[in-house]
A = this chain, B = another copy of it.
Amino acid sequence: MSPRKLEVCLTPALLHLYDIRESIVVVIDIFRATSSICYGIENGAEAIIPVATVKKCESYRNSGYLLAAERDGEVVSGFDFGNSPFAYSKDKVQGETVVLTTTNGTHAINVSRNAKQVVIGSFLNKSALSNWLKSQPNDVLLLCAGWKNLFNLEDTLFAGAVVSHLNNEGYKLDDSAIASEDLYLAGKNDLNEYLKKTSHSERLKNLGIEEDIRFCLNVDITTTIPVLVGDRLVKMMKD
């Protein structure tokens, strides 16, 4: 049997180069969509429905769902909240269904729908996710949401963290997985400090959401894995 593949797709614009039909795709948008999704599902949200457009999100008005819309780092006017993780605390989301659209993260989820399975990763659920991947027979593609289809460092760093976690498990890595791991090893001692030099961090700082950034770099504070079932992200029920 040939070894399982562990690959990293550095932006959704490269996803067409991969055959994902038999793979588990892990969608990664560290600042902030997938961190918030992990946090929300951990905190008892019944489901999070990722949608592509603000208009689609708006169409759920009066459905009883919470509506969350972010564009270019800010909450879209008229919506309950955006993708700050602090909006996904237990008191806000427990038992609720959230409809969510974001600049990068929900796009990456939507283009992954042909995969065998789509799950959500972030530093918050790093070990739970990695250990589950290890237990599966499938190839794995770590999909970085990036920034408007461009490469970004924080998503790649997290992909590298997963590669690093899985690297003694006999997976076959592609070059981007190798690179991601080496970047993670360069930054892991102080992720927050390392990421300060990135363009995105500067942009987020200008938005006044440094608290969010710090929160999204917490490692292993959750243990659930959000998984896409139909059009909904829900808590994975492990065997």
A contact patch SS:
helix
A111 at the interface (CB under 8 A from B): no
Q: Which residues of B sit under 8 angstroms from A186, Cβ to Cβ? A: 182, 185-186
A151 at the interface (CB under 8 A from B): yes
Q: Which residues of B sit under 8 angstroms from A174, Cβ to Cβ? A: 150-151, 199
Provide the A161-203 mask, 1 if CB < 8 A to any CB of B, else 0.
0000000000001111011001101110000000001111000
Q: Which residues of B sit under 8 angstroms from A183, Cβ to Cβ? A: 179, 182-183
A152 at the interface (CB under 8 A from B): yes
| Residue tally, chain A, CB below 8 Å to B | 28
A237 at the interface (CB under 8 A from B): no
Contact, CB under 8 Å: B178 / A197: yes
A17 at the interface (CB under 8 A from B): yes
A172 → chain B closest CB, angstroms: 8
Nearest to A172 among chain B residues (CB) is B199
A149 at the interface (CB under 8 A from B): yes
Q: Which residues of B sit under 8 angstroms from A152, Cβ to Cβ? A: 175
Contact, CB under 8 Å: B149 / A175: no
Nearest to A8 among chain B residues (CB) is B151
User: Which chain A residues in 137-160 approach chain B with CB under 8 Å?
Assistant: 147-153, 156
Query: Whole-angstrom distance between the alpha carbons of A138 and B204 in the complex?
Result: 28
Query: Whole-angstrom distance between the alpha carbons of A141 and B185 in the complex?
Result: 26
Q: Which of A147, A173, A175 has the most CB of B within 10 A?
A: A175
Contact, CB under 8 Å: A179 / B156: yes
A233 → chain B closest CB, angstroms: 26
Contact, CB under 8 Å: A17 / B149: yes
Q: Which residue of B14, B153, B178 is within 8 Å of A179 (Cβ)?
A: B153
A101 → chain B closest CB, angstroms: 21
A54 at the interface (CB under 8 A from B): no
Q: Which residues of B sit under 8 angstroms from A97, Cβ to Cβ? A: none
A69 at the interface (CB under 8 A from B): no
Known: A13-B17, A151-B175, A182-B183. 12 other contacts (CB 8 A): A11-B14, A14-B150, A147-B175, A150-B175, A150-B176, A151-B174, A152-B175, A153-B175, A175-B198, A175-B199, A178-B197, A179-B179
